Amino acid sequence: MTGNTFKYGMYVAHFYWIGAIPAMLFLGLYMMPFYYSSRIKSVPGYLKLRFDEKTRVLNGIAFAGMTLLVSGINLYAMALVLHTFLGWDWNISMWISAATVAAYVTLSGLMSAIFTEIIQFFLIWFGLFLVSILGIVEIGSIHDIFHRVDELYKTVSYTTLWSTSGDPSLNGMLITWGGIVLGLGFVLSFGYWTTDFLVVQRAFSAKDLRTARMTPILASFFKMAVPFIVILTGLIAIVLANDPKSGFSLLKDGGQINYDSALPLLIARYYPAGLVGLGVTALLAGFMAGQAGNISAFNTVWTYDIYHAVLNRKASDAHLLWMGRAATIVGILLSVGTAYWAKSFPSIMDYMQAIFSWVNAPLFATMLLGMFVWWITPNGAFWGLLTGMGSSFTMFLAVKFSWIDPRLLTLSNVQSDMAANFWRAWWAWLICFVFTILISLFTKKRPQEELVGLVKGLTPEAGADGILWYRKPETIAIVSVIVLIILNIYFW
Amino acid sequence: MEKESKEMKPIWYFVGLMLSAMGAVVLIAGVANYLSPPARQTVLSQLHPELWWGSVMIAAGLLFFFMNRHSKTE
């Protein structure tokens, strides 16, 4: 994300504010009670119960592919850290990272993943926040950083959030507010927070409903603070890279600027021995958590939602356990391949959002309709989802190989990779949404009594009475919204 | 958040241990760098960030550690 800020400027903060907070609060307030009191155990599992086997397998295959691609990104990022700090060869860095994660995942489970995630959270804050502090000290103040970035980019703003979003040619991401709100704020963010396998699984490890609801609401405050590490360091990197006296420049791979090298290079600049160890550990910890989560999700989806559901229905538990372990090893080997692909993209966040726009964006339409509208049919869901994912991938290829004019998608004369991702996600969601409804109107509906526990409104939800008003999730969520509004106005 | 076997130390206890231990390593490295400065100096090394950041980490770690020393979670 620091690298992304280097490329796009302050607009990257939208990923942590409008692109995360509303969805996290929605998850805590409305989705958690539903997940908690329903029969849902995983997203593909839900699709099978709510619709049918074919929708589950379609989502399972897409999801397995997505986890491998995202896990490749994390693997590449780990290798980048080893390459930058230890000077290791790219290939050796990739394979050592892969072997470490293989050992870590085969030995761990969901609970250890949640434990390590909390520890990693502290490691990341203590390991990386000092980069921001030292950057501010070197340049002078936060005001000086903003001022110097403004001097560098006179026609395009890299330091505002909304005031330049009316005209896409005025901001670093080359996008309008419509693309941010619809593509990122609604589709990509709600798609991630309400349908992500790992997020939903965490709900079941909470000790009671209130804890399950409070987790994403409290997490929203920490999420809002993340830009003070990633955006600030990105802006610091812009100032330093444009100051010939600083001696700071990003890595170049075959003439192409490697934006993701910004944060590792800042750590190398400021951290003496001792702190370097902490900074490198923090970076590796974050990527390793992402990698491990994706590989665990891959082996679960492959073993239960594809292998057991389609290829071998009579498999014994012992055989499935063996298959899960084999899937971990194969998944990691495939991730090494996708890691090399990720390396070919100038910035990993562009690539990751492209993947989300193919899989998560249309899936969010299917899940939303499935959870809230009882008359959506199995055939409607299947063909809607297939059309949504197919259209998203086709739009990606069509722009990449110049089959169509990208202006058709982004509705403006200028665009960046990220703007294309946001708009593609929105269109894919809309296509899936409309097709699912249209096909459902003409196909056989399931009786309402079969859908109890699967559709909100047909499902009685566990209440949470007897909590003082200031400890209620709703109250804390309002405070979170107020902080979000203040931040957006302050950096307007 | 955690639902473990009974009588287990909360996660915050381990966060405290980890922060104190890592803070100690950073602080010790800082003292070593202070006494015999390395040949290659980092930018702003004159501020000795390892010394005060290591201390901040130890303080935060000990706070977590002592606040959760006697608590148990189910």
Give the pLDDT band (50/70/90) at residue A40. low
Evaluate if residue A41 carries a pLDDT over 70.
no
d(CA A408, CA A398): 11
The bridge status of strand A256-257 relative to strand A252-253 is antiparallel
Give the pLDDT band (50/70/90) at residue B57. very high
> For A60-74, A225-239, A255-269, A473-487, which range has the lowest pLDDT when averaged over its residues?
A255-269
Around A286, how many Cα atoms within 13 Å sit in the side-chain half-sphere? 18
CB contact under 8 A, B50 and A122: no
CB contact under 8 A, B30 and A278: no
Distance between A111 CA and the closest CA of chain B, angstroms: 8
Give the pLDDT band (50/70/90) at residue A379. very high
ipTM comes to 0.85
pLDDT the model gives residue B59:
94
CB contact under 8 A, B26 and A206: no
Rounded average pLDDT over A312-319: 86
* Mutation site for B-interface testing, chosen from A122, A215, A248 by largest number of B Cβ within 10 Å: A122
Evaluate if residue B1 carries a pLDDT over 60.
no
* Mutation site for A-interface testing, chosen from B47, B53, B58, B64 by largest number of A Cβ within 10 Å: B53
pLDDT in tens, A127-145: 888 999 999 999 988 899 8
pLDDT the model gives residue A411:
78
CB contact under 8 A, B50 and A272: yes
> For A61-70, A392-401, A455-464, which range has the lowest pLDDT when averaged over its residues?
A455-464
pLDDT in tens, A255-303: 778 788 888 889 888 888 888 888 888 888 878 877 888 888 888 888 8
Residues of A with CB under 8 A from a CB of B: 111, 114-115, 118-119, 122-123, 126, 130, 134, 137-138, 205-207, 211, 215, 269-275, 277-278, 281
Distance between A117 CA and the closest CA of chain B, angstroms: 11
Return left, alpha or beta for A174; rule: phi > 0 is left, psi -120 to 50 is alpha, else beta.
left
Residue B41 burial class via C-beta count within 10 angstroms: exposed 0-12, middle 13-18, buried 19 and up: exposed
Around A223, how many Cα atoms within 13 Å sit in the side-chain half-sphere? 23
Among B11, B30, B57, select the one facing A115 at the smallest CB separation. Answer: B11
Q: Which chain A residues are closer than 8 Å to B49 by Cβ? A: 130, 134, 270-272, 275
State the count of interchain CB pairs (< 8 A) between A and B: 86
pLDDT the model gives residue A435:
95
Distance between B52 CA and the closest CA of chain A, angstroms: 11
d(CA A117, CA A290): 9
Evaluate if residue A108 carries a pLDDT over 80.
no
pLDDT the model gives residue A203:
64
* Mutation site for A-interface testing, chosen from B22, B51, B65, B68 by largest number of A Cβ within 10 Å: B22
CB contact under 8 A, A126 and B30: no
Give the pLDDT band (50/70/90) at residue A324. confident
Q: Which chain B residues are closer than 8 Å to A274 by Cβ? A: 25-26, 28-30, 32-33, 50, 54
* Crossing angle between the packed helical segments A227-241 and A262-270, to the nearest 10 degrees: 80
Residues 6 or more apart whose Cβ sits within 8 Å of residue A45 = A56, A304, A305
Distance between A341 CA and the closest CA of chain B, angstroms: 34
Task: Record the tokens describing residue A66, joined without a space.
Answer: 């997505």
Q: What is the mean pLDDT of chain B?
A: 82
B24 touching chain A per CB within 8 A: no
Of A247-251, A333-337, B7-11, which one has max mean pLDDT? A333-337
Closest chain B residue by Cα to residue A213: B1
- Residue for token pair 């004159």: B46
- Percent of chain A residues topping a pLDDT of 90: 19
pLDDT the model gives residue B23:
92
pLDDT the model gives residue A463:
59
pLDDT the model gives residue B13:
87
Phi, psi values for residue A43, rounded to 5°: -65, -50
Instruction: Give the residue, A113 or A105, on which the prediction is more confident.
Output: A105
CB contact under 8 A, B11 and A123: no
Evaluate if residue A148 carries a pLDDT over 80.
yes
Give the pLDDT band (50/70/90) at residue B3. very low
Evaluate if residue A7 carries a pLDDT over 70.
yes
Q: What is the mean pLDDT of chain A?
A: 85
CB contact under 8 A, B49 and A215: no
Evaluate if residue A207 carries a pLDDT over 90.
no
pLDDT in tens, A349-370: 888 888 889 998 999 999 999 9
Rounded average pLDDT over A368-379: 90
pLDDT the model gives residue B4:
44
Single pTM value for the model: 0.84
pLDDT the model gives residue A23:
92
Distance between B1 CA and the closest CA of chain A, angstroms: 5
Distance between A103 CA and the closest CA of chain B, angstroms: 22
Among B1, B33, B44, select the one facing A273 at the smallest CB separation. Answer: B33
d(CA A447, CA A126): 54
Closest chain A residue by Cα to residue B13: A119
Rounded average pLDDT over A41-53: 84
Distance between A30 CA and the closest CA of chain B, angstroms: 19
Q: Which chain B residues are closer than 8 Å to A138 by Cβ? A: 43-44
B74 touching chain A per CB within 8 A: yes
Distance between B63 CA and the closest CA of chain A, angstroms: 14
pLDDT in tens, A327-342: 888 999 999 989 888 8
Q: Which of residues 53-72 of B touch A (CB under 8 A)?
A: 53-54, 57, 60
Evaluate if residue B74 carries a pLDDT over 60.
no
Q: Which chain B residues are closer than 8 Å to A134 by Cβ? A: 43-44, 47, 49
Phi, psi values for residue A257, rounded to 5°: -70, 130
* Runs of H (alpha helix) within A208-305: 209-225, 227-241, 262-270, 275-300
> For A77-86, A109-118, A119-128, A442-451, which range has the lowest pLDDT when averaged over its residues?
A109-118
